[in-house]
Amino acid sequence: MLHQSLSVWLTDQNGLKLEEYGPRIVDDAAECWIPSDEGSRFRIKWTPSGDTQHKLGLRCDVRLDGTDITSRVLSAKNIAAGLPGEKDGMSVAPGVKRPLVFGCRPLMDQDELASPHPPVSEELATIRVKLTWVRCTQTKRLHKYYELKLRGFPKRDTKKEHTITAMLGDPIPSVRISPMRAIKTHDLSSPVVFVFRYGPRDWLKAQGIIPNELVFEGADPTPNELQSSCDEKKAEQKREPNSPLTIKSLHPSEKSSLADPSDVIDIDDLESDSDSDIVILGEPTKKAVNLVL
């Protein structure tokens, strides 16, 4: 999405941009819908799309379903080099991080909620990104990692609402060159807000957010259809003449969509002191946005 000369987009773990549907401006914030698959990882990327602010960094604050996670600052050096900011998780220990994933929302009764202040309904199924031009001044090394407080979600009508949630996944190894730092920033502009609303692709189609594809009789088959037909013919040739046609033979088992941690390519592995883990100093203690990955 593009808003006020700033651009934010989401990709899968392989770097492919997620499709955006129904973009609009609501209360001075850019909004759109994106499809989400349970178990898949995603990344948040951002960059200035117009004139840049000289020697200023671009701070990114992230909020998942109403819960703040750690932030990050895209340095002026990387902006000048044309590199986008990227956030794919949150460090929880030296050499360990929890990746951003689409998981299943934990539903609880009202008296079982993990937090006395559950997220309001307007924040459910949203990824909120806030960008602010900042100047970084004071820095120091830290030795304690930010601990994210877990939240429960009240039970709702799953026929009307899906149960996918943007969350932090299980811890995985993370190679990081720079140490965690504390940093003090001065906001030099009003924040620009982007809101990504998400849901399973079938659910988005049922809501009319993603238009259903029209199939015309006699139309040429798509490459995927041609490949599927070829695979079915090969499977038919491999089966014995008298072997029964089973569900397993038609749909062989698939691997989990959650890739092995060793397959993840993390841009944080590049040498850049400007993008190391940092804590924002001078913030109110009630705010959860502190660390910057």
Listed by start position, the domains of the chain span 2-210+270-292
Backbone angles phi, psi at 168, to 5 degrees: -95, 130
Which carries the bigger pLDDT value, residue 38 or residue 150?
Answer: 38
What's the whole-number mean pLDDT along residues 89-107? 85
Instruction: Give the separation between CA 149 and CA 67, rounded to whole angstroms.
Output: 9
Pairing between β-strand 21-26 and β-strand 29-35 as defined by DSSP bridges:
antiparallel
Q: Which residues contact 27 (CB under 8 A, 6 or more apart)?
A: none
Structure tokens at 11: 């990709």
What's the whole-number mean pLDDT along residues 204-227? 69
What's the whole-number mean pLDDT along residues 259-273? 32
pLDDT surpassing 90 at residue 118:
no
Model confidence band, residue 257 (pLDDT cutoffs 50, 70, 90): very low
Residue 220: exposure state from Cβ atoms within 10 A (0-12, 13-18, ≥19): exposed
Instruction: Give the separation between CA 82 and CA 9, rounded to whole angstroms.
Output: 16
Minimum mean pLDDT range among 32-46, 77-91, 106-120, 275-289: 275-289
pLDDT tens for each residue of 175-191 = 765 555 656 677 778 99
Per-residue confidence (pLDDT) for residue 144, from 0 to 100: 65
Per-residue confidence (pLDDT) for residue 176, from 0 to 100: 63
Model confidence band, residue 87 (pLDDT cutoffs 50, 70, 90): very high
Asked if 260 and 38 touch (Cβ cutoff 8 Å), the reply is: no
Which carries the bigger pLDDT value, residue 162 or residue 206?
Answer: 206
Quick count: other Cβ atoms within 10 Å of Cβ 93?
10
Per-residue confidence (pLDDT) for residue 177, from 0 to 100: 52
Per-residue confidence (pLDDT) for residue 93, from 0 to 100: 81
Per-residue confidence (pLDDT) for residue 251, from 0 to 100: 34
pLDDT surpassing 80 at residue 31:
yes
Per-residue confidence (pLDDT) for residue 18, from 0 to 100: 97
Model confidence band, residue 293 (pLDDT cutoffs 50, 70, 90): very low
Instruction: Give the separation between CA 131 and CA 56, rounded to whole angstroms.
Output: 12
**For the chain, what is the mean pLDDT?**
72
